[in-house]
């Protein structure tokens, strides 16, 4: 089997061809993508026989997801934060994947009590595996925002949040976005006009890495359909809408249980959850269009804080919980759609994309939950040497809150042990 990295989709002369005609099963596909940057960057070739969701994908994807999730959460509490993006995994996993392809046995393995078989080494490490592993890592590199609520409860309100409530809070806020994304996938992924400029950088990086490695080692048709959508619809089954709808209903129900149950520790009533979900649903499409066409993502964080602060004053945990459900779930949807568009460009099977993103999200909040609930408390105490700057920082120096922002953006009152006084900062 030839190495799938060395196909014509990644030959160096591709950018010279503005309009590339591709023949699929006797039908000629014209590169009619309306965005010139996409025509120049994204190949219009695809081989649906190339395996994507392989053993190598699961092993390298899970490892990179867990590692990035833990490291970014671990360093997120520090005064000088360190952020490790998925680009690091994107570069590192290529030689690891090549190594696994060269060393693992290729004989099929049968799953006991089933008719399923799989291979540890289905062939050369290919581009689709590389993309899925990177998206796996990206699911873990973005911190779980709900962890800030857990941190606030423990560090500033001196309460113990029920472990199951903390788990459900993290799970529902992260995965609500997948429901919003499924509702607007047709408009923000299938449409060629929603071209997500940041993804073209990723496509170029994938092609460049592949080219350097090679040189070193020597469509359901609708009004939005372009060549890439037609190829995807022709070669792969799309993710059923009921997957997204079922996930959305389940997450909304669990979100209500999280806030109404466990002694109402999060202070947010059921109608606050529904209102936050309504805001996220309303803003996902317009914000998605802006992000997909300009690469600029406006934030809803201040809007959500003002709304719940006016309707439900004097409840700080309800404020941050409402913000997390109303803003972060929308942000998760935008990230999910952006990754889905990257898979759309790179011809990744949609179901494989869905599985990788879903599992990556679940693994990431499992990776950071224990650290945020148990291990982070000593770090957040102001008496920790070399972290609190109790004596080293002058009284007029800015106070450090270790990544945890307390409401509100209008007036932020911070009790700083560094200055031993209450200071008010105008935003």
For 151, the token pair is: 């941190």
pLDDT given for residue 385 in this prediction:
58
Strand runs (DSSP E) across 232-383, as ranges?
none
pLDDT of residue 190 exceeding 50, the answer is yes
Residue 10 has pLDDT above 60, yes or no: no
| Cβ proximity of 342 and 119 under 8 Å | no
Question: Residue 102: which H helix or E strand, with range?
Answer: helix 86-103
C-alpha dihedral over 24, 30, 32, 37, to 10 degrees? 80
373-376, Cβ contacts within 8 angstroms, sequence gap of 24 or more: 373/150, 373/154, 373/161, 373/163, 373/166, 376/77, 376/151, 376/154
> What's the pLDDT score for residue 104?
92
The secondary structure of the chain in percent helix, strand, coil, rounded to multiples of 5, reads 60, 5, 35
**Per-residue confidence (pLDDT) for residue 191, from 0 to 100:** 87
Q: Quick one: how far is CA 113 from the chain centroid? A: 35
Torsion from C-alpha of 299, 303, 305, 308, nearest 10 degrees = -140
At 301-344, the pLDDT tens digits run 788 888 888 888 888 888 888 988 988 889 889 988 998 889 88
Is the pLDDT at 420 greater than 50, yes or no? no
> What is residue 178's predicted lDDT score, i.e. its pLDDT?
87
Single pTM value for the model: 0.64
pLDDT 10s digits, 352-367: 989 998 888 888 877 7
Q: Which helix (H) or strand (E) holds 257?
A: helix 241-260
Note the pLDDT of residue 87: 85
User: What's the pLDDT score for residue 414?
Assistant: 33
Alpha helices (H) along 324-376: 329-345, 350-370
pLDDT tier at 6, thresholds 50, 70, 90: very low
* pLDDT tops 50 at residue 415: no
Contact 327, 304 (CB under 8 A): yes
The sign of the dihedral angle between the CA atoms of 322, 356, 344, 229 is negative
pLDDT per residue over 122-171, tens digit each? 989 999 999 999 998 888 787 788 888 888 888 888 888 888 988 898 88
Least confident of 2-6, 110-114, 298-302, 337-341: 2-6
Q: Who wins on pLDDT, 424 or 368?
A: 368
- DSSP H or E segment with residue 136: helix 127-141
CA distance 290 to 195: 11
| Nearest partner of 196 among 187, 209, 207, judged by Cα | 187
Predicted local distance difference test score (pLDDT) of residue 277: 92
Over residues 384-402, mean pLDDT? 50
The whole-number pLDDT of residue 411 equals 34
- What are the boundaries of each domain within the chain? 55-378, 388-427
pLDDT grade, residue 55 (50/70/90)?
A: very high
Average the pLDDT over each of 85-89, 242-246, 275-279 and give the range with the smallest value.
Answer: 85-89
- Res 109: pLDDT: 87
Taking 90 as the threshold, does the pLDDT of residue 288 lie above it? no
Taking all residues of the chain, what is their mean pLDDT, rounded to a whole number? 78
Cβ distance 104 to 122 under 8 Å?
Answer: no
């Amino acid at each position: 089997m030839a190495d799938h990295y060395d196909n014509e989709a990644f030959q160096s002369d591709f950018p010279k061809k503005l309009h590339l005609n591709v023949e699929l099963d006797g039908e000629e596909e014209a590169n009619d993508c309306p965005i010139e940057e996409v025509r120049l960057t994204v190949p219009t070739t695809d081989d649906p026989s190339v395996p994507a969701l392989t053993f190598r994908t699961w092993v390298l994807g899970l490892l990179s997801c867990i590692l990035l999730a833990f490291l970014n959460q671990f360093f997120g509490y520090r005064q000088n934060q360190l952020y490790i993006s998925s680009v690091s995994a994107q570069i590192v996993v290529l030689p690891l994947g090549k190594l696994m392809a060269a060393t693992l046995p290729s004989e099929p393995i049968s799953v006991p009590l089933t008719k399923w078989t799989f291979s540890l080494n289905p062939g050369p490490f290919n581009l689709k595996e590389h993309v899925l592993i990177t998206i796996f890592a990206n699911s873990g590199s973005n911190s779980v925002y709900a962890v800030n609520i857990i941190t606030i409860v423990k560090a500033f309100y001196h309460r113990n949040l029920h472990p199951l409530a903390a788990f459900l809070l993290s799970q529902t806020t992260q995965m609500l976005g997948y429901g919003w994304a499924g509702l607007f996938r047709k408009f923000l992924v299938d449409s060629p006009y929603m071209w997500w400029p940041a993804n073209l950088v990723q496509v170029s990086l994938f092609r460049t890495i592949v080219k350097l490695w090679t040189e070193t080692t020597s469509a359901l048709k609708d009004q939005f359909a372009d060549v890439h959508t037609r190829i995807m619809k022709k070669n792969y089954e799309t993710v059923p809408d009921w997957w997204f709808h079922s996930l959305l209903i389940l997450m909304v129900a669990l979100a209500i249980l999280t806030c109404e149950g466990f002694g109402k520790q999060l202070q947010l009533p059921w109608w606050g959850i529904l209102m936050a979900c309504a805001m996220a649903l309303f803003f996902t499409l317009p914000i998605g269009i802006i992000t997909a066409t300009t690469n600029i993502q406006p934030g809803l964080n201040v809007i959500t804080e003002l709304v719940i602060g006016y309707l439900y004053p004097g409840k700080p945990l309800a404020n941050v919980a409402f913000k997390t459900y109303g803003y972060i779930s929308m942000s998760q949807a935008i990230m999910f759609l952006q990754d889905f568009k990257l898979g759309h460009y790179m011809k990744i099977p949609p179901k494989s994309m869905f599985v990788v993103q879903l599992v990556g999200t679940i693994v990431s909040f499992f990776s950071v939950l224990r650290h945020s609930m148990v291990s982070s408390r000593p770090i957040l105490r102001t008496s920790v040497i070399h972290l609190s700057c109790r004596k080293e920082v002058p009284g007029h120096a800015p106070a450090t809150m270790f990544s945890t922002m307390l409401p509100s953006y209008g007036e932020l009152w911070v009790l700083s042990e560094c200055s031993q006084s209450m200071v008010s900062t105008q935003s």
